[in-house]
Structure 1
């Protein structure tokens, strides 16, 4: 059985440049507007708490994209400074500017001590040139406790180049209003045909079936990318053949089916009249208004809705997977925002020390317990916060698989371009097969730049 598909009863697993994918774009307020934690600098002559080591008067710079650093991590940074004297200077960059800023710093040889980046083999190779710019962390103790699928996303040629601490189990699923479904006599769909019929019945009742924020450029790509394990099931060995350049997107019948169904959903008006201008930031508000029955979102959305509209309880909402191409596999994203130690930094050992501190079990549990959008983390031995509906979701879909962007090379780096292609498809400027052709062209271009032997025979 392949590593990306397994049958299990509980999840310990885990979306794009700015997306996806996985819990990578949740809407929980974070400390991203504050550049540094408000901890005082330790004196180098003091003794660190819980150890006999002398404190160090050092500041580590950490460059990260907006929403990647949670408030609880800021608090842990204060504790780390109290213990070691090492101060963490968080330099938070708006998401749409982050990669350009990071690339400039890395190319100039003036990178920060630590930098953030999305995981994924092609991502860390092409976008961050991890083998040159990042330190090999393979020998760190926490690597053994991190989810192996997460570690694999950060590994090149047998070396681990970053640390992911993220709720990789909180996949984007369809959050649905159970009261609306009950009023319309609907059950959770298990096929695309059932899903379409349910949505049309909801639409006929005067409720917009789905809130889909296309304006951000990334969210609508999830509909196509997340059911990747189903494509691999219907077209056996698809993932491996794509990575070996033995097949392509254009000729994949399951992927063509999925995009064709997505276009049909748009054409039927299931996303409402304003999908192209609707935004991700407004999702909770719109769902709380009662005007929409469903949304593709992480599993913390019901709690957000209840805070906005107490008349709607979190327990009024349930979950099911994207049923395009009749998918019934629970797709997981084993990656997420990750921490790299810059190879040209002056404080490499101290940066490793900070990553080790964050990965201590008690600190992981603190981060989990104090981050509202996290229900679990991708490390063993933690006490999760799964709701009853999440537990039901995991029980309903015992078969798990890795989404396409985190397994197939050269997909995640073109996420926003894929979003533009799909918008063109919605508007009639392109057919579903044209979207697949565009993905193939960009994959080929990236593979040749990377000197991928599959494309350079």
Structure 2
């Protein structure tokens, strides 16, 4: 009996020692900043008994994973033993690859996807393929508008860490505008006149990377709030199937103007083969006056070392259909955990780690392409020109793809339609008809009551 009691006491003592060791961070540091490598037990995985020899595969589209996140992933691995294997797919191939993986039941532990209710429902079928993240702590700190784009039936299925306030706007060379006596256009007519004057100087008005397959769609989609303004209740009527794209006069106007811009040569001779990766170089060359781009582009241009500085560039919104509304995109590339993953808890750890306030600030401070992130309590990096932009357009609204159902899932198809329009294979009204057809098909698949009644 005494031997048994002695053995039992020894077991208790050893268990207590192991528990004490497991409750500390790997390096014993109290700091949780990326630079120090510290982490709370919740985020580091140490609460479950130390480092884990686990690899999480993460499939994502090109351009979605920034260098700053990869640096955090290394810190995460140092602290937890959990390695992130990024598998980056070219953007024009990504969604086909992702759908194939999800449909075959071979999804990666984490997969990237665009947010949007119809997108996550139809393209990713998140109620089957993704993990419910509603109970995660970071959900309470993420922008509610972003969360809404990731939610179905009251459940949150992904995490968006993105600069949702700095919409793609037209970045213009102020030196060129000043030399030609041009001011910021407030109508399409003024925009067209400016483009023609720029052409007369031997400068291409706009750099437009059509080859990426998605970029040129923004000329049509981002100004959705203007369509809704000119055609009151358009967004809701589209969602309720009370109207369609084909019958929208503002949309037809915008596409007709976009086609005119292409025909006038505003995009230059190589738009169909131009890529977004060259935007900074092209603008730095002085051969182009404007580009539809992220608001961080001026800084990227300055860093190329030419005579141009970030302050030599200004911003204005897309003026098609005479738009003067600052369009907001509350969504963006998002992280989903595959429901069939064998490492769901480790994947949750990684998302929790990225969403720690100090790590979010690290992402913001070390990513030159962002000015803010969609979480509360962060210090933004808005420049004076960005502040001026926000003041210039006090009226704001959500872009069409993040409000109207069955638009975002057909983004790349819309891009193909617009290329067809540029090449005269389609007329502007044909593009709208194609969008309607795909929306109807998707709505019927989803058994949307607005289409089945």
TM-score w.r.t. length of structure 2 = 0.88
Q: Secondary structure at the match of 2:86?
A: strand
* Alpha-carbon distance between aligned partners in 1 of 2:56 and 2:180, rounded to the nearest angstrom: 56
1:264 alignment partner in structure 2: 260
1:299 aligned onto 2:295? yes
Match of 1:313 in 2: 309
Q: Which runs of 5+ in 1 are unaligned?
A: 1-43
For 2:245 and 2:435, the matched residues in 1 are separated by 7
Pairing 1:354-393 to 2, within 5 Å after superposition: 354-393=350-389
Q: Which moved more, 1:355-364 or 1:100-109?
A: 100-109
3-state secondary structure, aligned to 1:293: strand
Corresponding residue number in structure 2 for 1:116: 112
Deviation for aligned residue 1:284: 1.7
**The one of 164, 175, 197 aligned to 1:179:** 175
> What's the CA shift for 1:170?
2.3
Superimposed CA distance per residue, residues 102-139 of structure 1 (whole angstroms, 9 cap, x where no aligned partner): 22332232322221111111111111110101111112
Contact 1:288–1:309 (CA<8 Å) still a contact in 2?
Answer: no
Q: Where has structure 1 moved over 6 Å in runs of 4 or more? A: none
Relative to the length of structure 1, the TM-score reads: 0.87
Residue 97 of structure 1 corresponds to 93
User: Is this contact kept in 1: 2:91–2:212, CA < 8 A?
Assistant: no
Say whether 1:274 aligns with 2:270.
yes
The question of whether the paired residues in 2 share the 8 Å contact of 1:48 and 1:82 is answered with no
After TM superposition, give the deviation of residue 253 of structure 1 in Å.
0.9
Deviations 1:290-311 (A, max 9, x none): 1111111111111222223521
Q: Identify which of 334, 337, 347 aligns with 1:351.
A: 347
- What pairs with 1:132-147 in structure 2 (closer than 5 Å)? 132-147=128-143
CA displacement, residues 266-304 of structure 1 (integer Å, 9 cap, x when unaligned): 222222233233222222222111111111111111122
Does 2:50 match 1:55? yes
The structure number with the bigger radius of gyration is 2
Contact (CA 8 Å) 1:48, 1:84: kept in 2 or not? Answer: no
Q: Aligned pair in 2 of structure 1 residues 220, 99: CA closer, same or farther (>3 Å)?
A: closer
Q: How many residues align?
A: 414
* 1:433 aligned residue: 429
Q: Give how far 1:259 is off.
A: 0.8
How is 1:1-400 mapped onto 2 (pairs within 5 angstroms)? 47-49=24-26, 50-51=40-41, 53=47, 54-57=49-52, 58-400=54-396
1:215–1:342 distance in 2 versus 1, CA, 3 Å: closer
CA distance in 1, matches of 2:411, 2:341: 30
Distance in 1 between residues matched to 2:308 and 2:220, nearest whole Å: 30
Question: Which structure 2 residue ranges, 5 or more long, are not aligned?
Answer: 1-20, 27-39
- Report the alpha carbon displacement of residue 214 of structure 1 after superposing the two structures with TM: 2.0
RMSD across aligned C-alpha pairs, in angstroms? 1.7
